Amino acid sequence: MEVKIQSTQIIKPSKSTPENLSKYNLSLFDQLSASSYINLVLYYKSSNEINISDTRGQLVNSLSKVLTLFYPLAGRIAENGLEVDCKDQGVKYLETQVNIKMDDFLEQVPKIDHIRLLIGVPDDVTQALLVVQVNVFDCGSIVIGVSGSHKVTDVHNLVMFTNEWASMTRTGVSNGAFSPSFDNLDSVFPPKQIPSLGISNTDEKHAKIVTKRFVFNKNTISMLREKTGSPNRRHSRVTLVSALIWKALMTIDQVKSGTLMNGLLAPAISLRGKVGSPVSERSFGNVWVPYSIRFQQNEMEFKYVYLVALIEDTTRDFVKWISKASNEEICTRAVASYAEVGEEIKQNKFAIFTSWCRFPVYAADFGWGKPHWVSEAGRVHEMVTLVDDKYGDGIEAWVNLNEKDMYVFEQDEDILKFTS
């Protein structure tokens, strides 16, 4: 598969950002976020409705318009690292030609290295906070790769941005359904002087990180419910899948060390829509709080059903705590959780999970219908990303592990039984 870049340009907002918005201050959660990019890849099969020559102009025009709503994405991180200089520097935009048909690409079970060719790469020259790559396949199908800096946006914002861009491309105007709100979160959750937390994007001590996708369809989710012994209880899909993967990951440590060890699962909860939270549903920025779920091998049996209960109980308690905690307490807890994860990673242990489930990733209709598929593009550090499948009742788990651990993970009895 060959992906040839046809053009590269900088797209700026269609209207100048007002002077009073020229500085966008980052919050503590932006400060804590990794200096990496979130990648969202949307696949659209060709139809008679896609006219490539017209589509190119429409995409650029609507992208320019939507950037006026998401203006920090067209800016640049300032030297102090705590604000965005919003002077409409623009986003990086690429168009490519792919010498394969979409059906052939999908039937081959896409390799992660091929998927990564469909996303634009940030560079030190433009320092763009958003990179968009529009890939046109030989059959006329289109794949759009959207990459946003995690220092400025979380996946919620990136999905909202993509959906607003799609809506504007399809209709020519914004209906505001996905427009963001700027709530001065830097004053609610102000940045702090904090030491290095030990969470890096790359670690030369580790082997090559490989990414593989494991699919839990509707039927296997039902099987996991039965595995808990409470098939009629509505355990969430995320909890069921997280517990199974976590158990397999702790088994890797058991294989390497010869004994069962304690384990840490580190997911995150969005503050959007939470009782007592000052964050609105449309708040722009990183507004999620990491928390720790600790398995102590001397306190419970190493069984799937107990891990499901542990995840549910800890998450429920944390949500209750958030509803009563002050903003300062939430900030303190977030820093402590990051530090705990950092220590875990220093010991070569796995910890980080993130869920994109229930985000409207399949809602982006540019005028060609909903995406045939939406994917991740892998990570450069060890973590797991959970994404809804196209039917909304299954989960695709994108697992990033070093090569040796991935081999053991793939051989796990439950992973073999419950995934495809």
Only one residue has tokens 């530090």, namely 339
Among candidate residues 103, 183, 203, 365, the one labeled active-site is 365
For the chain, the residue count is 420
Among candidate residues 30, 150, 186, 235, the one labeled active-site is 150
C-alpha span between 236 and 397 (Å, rounded):
15
Partners of 398 in beta bridges: 213, 385
Cα atoms found within 13 Å of the Cα of residue 154, Cβ hemisphere only:
27
Q: Is residue 365 annotated as part of the catalytic site, yes or no?
A: yes
CA angle 404, 399, 133 (to 5 degrees): 120
Q: Is residue 372 annotated as part of the catalytic site, yes or no?
A: no
| Whether 357 contacts 237, CB under 8 Å | yes
Say what the alpha-carbon torsion angle 59, 61, 65, 71 is, to the nearest 10 degrees: 70
| Whether 132 contacts 91, CB under 8 Å | yes
Contacts of 374 (CB under 8 A, 6+ apart): 40, 41, 42, 43, 361, 362, 387, 390
Which residues belong to the active site?
Answer: 150, 365
